[in-house]
C-alpha cells in the first residue's frame, strides 16, 4: 500500500498486517518511518517498508518491482498516498493543480498500471483507491484537491467496469474528517482582502467542527479490510466524520440549491444552512 507512513495509511498498513496479510508499505523516505516501525513493533506485526515516491515514474517502477521480486505477486493494491490542496478555482495556480494531480491521480494510476497485468493473468485481485468525501462533494476552497479526488473517483468507476470481467475488484474509500497530522498542514489561505476570503473562513470552520469529532484512522482501516474481504462488495465506502452523512444527502440537493448555498453572504447563516442541508453540524461553538 502507498502512503503508509502516517495517518490513514499507517493505520491501514498495521491493521491489515494484524489480520494476517503480508503487507508492503511504501514511504518516501525509510529514514522518516520511525513512528510506523515503532507502532508496528508495539502491535506485534511486520510491515515491510519500501521506499517509493508515487509522483515519480522511475521510483514507482523500482519500488513495485522490489515488491514483486520479494512477494512474487500483488493481490491487493491500496492507493492511499495523497496531498492536500487549498484554493479557490480562480486563484489556484495551474502548477498547484498539476502538483496535486500528479500525486493524487497520476500516482494511483502509476501504481495500478504495474500490478494490473498480473491480476488480469490470475483473474483475481483488488484495487483500493482512497479518495475523499470531496471526491463527490465539490466544496470549501479546495479546488486542486477536489479536482484530483473527483478525477480519481471517475477513473476508479471506469476501472471497476473495465476489470470486472477479469475477476478484479475495485473499491473506493471515501473518508470524511479523520484524525491526522494533515490538520496542522491545512493552512493555505488566500490573500487578505480577497473577494474569496469567506470561502476560506467557511472551509476552516468545516474542518474545525470536524476536528472535534474526527474519526480514528483505525475506522478507515477496518473499512478497507472489509472491502478487501467481504463476499458482498460494493464500489464506494463512505466513512469517518461527515462522509456518510454528506454523501447520502448530496444527491438530494439540486444544482440550484447548491449554488444558492454558495451565495449566502453571512457566515453564520451559511453555517446553519450547510448544517441543515448536509446533516453535519459546522456551527461555531462558544462564539
**pLDDT, tens digit (0-9, with 9 covering 90-100), for 28-63:** 999 999 999 999 999 999 999 999 999 999 999 999
Position 88 pLDDT exceeds 90: yes
Distance CA 241, CA 179 (A): 10
- The mean per-residue pLDDT over the stretch 91-115 comes to 98
Q: Is residue 286 part of a domain?
A: no
User: What is the domain-level CATH number for residue 112?
Assistant: 3.40.50.720
Nearest alpha-carbon partner for 238 in 147, 161, 137: 137
Distance CA 151, CA 79 (A): 14
Q: What is the overall mean pLDDT for the chain? A: 95
State the pLDDT at residue 181. Answer: 56
Q: Is 145 a catalytic residue?
A: yes
Q: Is residue 285 part of a domain?
A: no
DSSP state string for 30-92: GGG-HHHHHHHHHHT--EEEEE--TT-HHHHHHHHHHHHHHHS--SEEEE-------B-TTTS
- The mean per-residue pLDDT over the stretch 90-94 comes to 97
Going by pLDDT thresholds of 50, 70 and 90, the confidence category of residue 187 is low
Going by pLDDT thresholds of 50, 70 and 90, the confidence category of residue 138 is very high
* Predicted structure pTM score: 0.94
How many other CB atoms are found less than 10 A from the CB of residue 28?
Answer: 18
Q: Is residue 110 part of a domain?
A: yes
Q: Are 63 and 50 in contact (CB under 8 A)?
A: yes
How do residues 248-269 score in pLDDT, each as one tens digit? 999 999 999 999 999 999 999 9
Nearest alpha-carbon partner for 74 in 23, 27, 29: 23
> Residue 49: beta bridge partners?
25
State the pLDDT at residue 183. Answer: 47
Q: Is residue 147 part of a domain?
A: yes
Position 182 pLDDT exceeds 70: no
Q: Is residue 284 part of a domain?
A: no
Domain holding 175, by residue range, is 7-278
How do residues 230-246 score in pLDDT, each as one tens digit? 999 999 999 999 999 99
Q: Is residue 262 part of a domain?
A: yes
Position 287 pLDDT exceeds 90: no
Q: Is residue 195 part of a domain?
A: yes
- Single out the catalytic residue among 145, 207, 225, 237: 145
Distance CA 79, CA 4 (A): 10
Position 184 pLDDT exceeds 60: no
Q: Are 196 and 90 in contact (CB under 8 A)?
A: yes
Distance CA 124, CA 175 (A): 26
State the total domains in the chain: 1
Q: Is residue 287 part of a domain?
A: no
Q: Are 159 and 105 in contact (CB under 8 A)?
A: no
Q: Are 102 and 57 in contact (CB under 8 A)?
A: no
Amino acid at each position: 500500500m502507498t502512503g503508509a507512513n502516517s495517518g490513514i495509511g499507517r493505520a491501514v498498513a498495521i491493521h491489515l498486517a494484524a489480520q494476517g496479510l503480508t503487507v508492503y508499505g511504501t514511504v518516501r523516505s525509510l529514514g522518516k518511518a520511525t513512528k510506523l516501525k515503532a507502532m508496528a513493533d508495539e502491535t506485534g506485526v511486520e510491515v515491510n517498508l519500501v521506499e517509493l515516491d508515487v509522483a515519480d515514474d522511475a521510483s514507482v517502477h523500482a519500488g513495485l518491482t522490489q515488491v514483486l521480486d520479494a512477494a512474487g505477486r500483488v493481490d491487493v493494491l491500496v492507493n492511499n498516498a495523497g496531498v492536500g490542496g487549498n484554493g479557490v478555482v480562480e486563484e489556484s495556480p495551474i502548477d498547484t493543480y498539476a502538483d496535486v494531480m500528479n500525486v493524487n491521480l497520476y500516482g494511483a494510476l502509476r501504481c495500478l498500471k504495474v500490478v494490473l497485468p498480473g491480476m488480469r493473468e490470475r483473474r483475481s485481485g483488488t484495487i483500493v483507491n482512497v479518495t475523499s468525501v470531496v471526491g463527490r462533494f465539490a466544496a470549501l476552497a479546495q479546488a486542486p484537491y477536489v479536482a484530483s479526488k473527483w478525477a480519481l473517483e471517475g477513473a476508479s468507476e471506469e476501472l471497476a467496469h473495465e476489470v470486472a470481467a477479469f475477476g478484479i475488484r475495485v473499491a473506493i474509500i471515501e473518508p470524511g474528517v479523520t484524525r491526522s497530522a494533515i490538520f496542522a498542514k491545512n493552512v493555505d489561505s488566500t490573500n487578505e482582502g480577497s473577494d474569496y476570503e469567506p470561502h476560506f473562513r467557511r472551509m476552516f470552520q468545516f474542518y474545525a467542527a470536524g476536528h472535534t469529532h474526527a474519526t480514528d484512522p483505525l475506522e478507515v482501516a477496518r473499512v478497507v479490510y472489509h472491502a478487501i474481504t467481504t463476499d458482498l462488495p460494493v464500489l464506494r465506502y463512505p466513512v469517518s466524520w461527515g462522509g456518510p452523512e454528506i454523501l447520502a444527502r448530496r444527491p438530494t440537493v439540486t444544482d440550484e440549491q447548491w449554488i444558492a448555498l454558495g451565495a449566502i453572504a453571512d457566515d453564520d447563516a451559511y453555517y446553519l444552512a450547510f448544517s441543515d442541508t448536509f446533516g453535519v453540524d459546522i456551527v461555531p461553538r462558544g462564539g
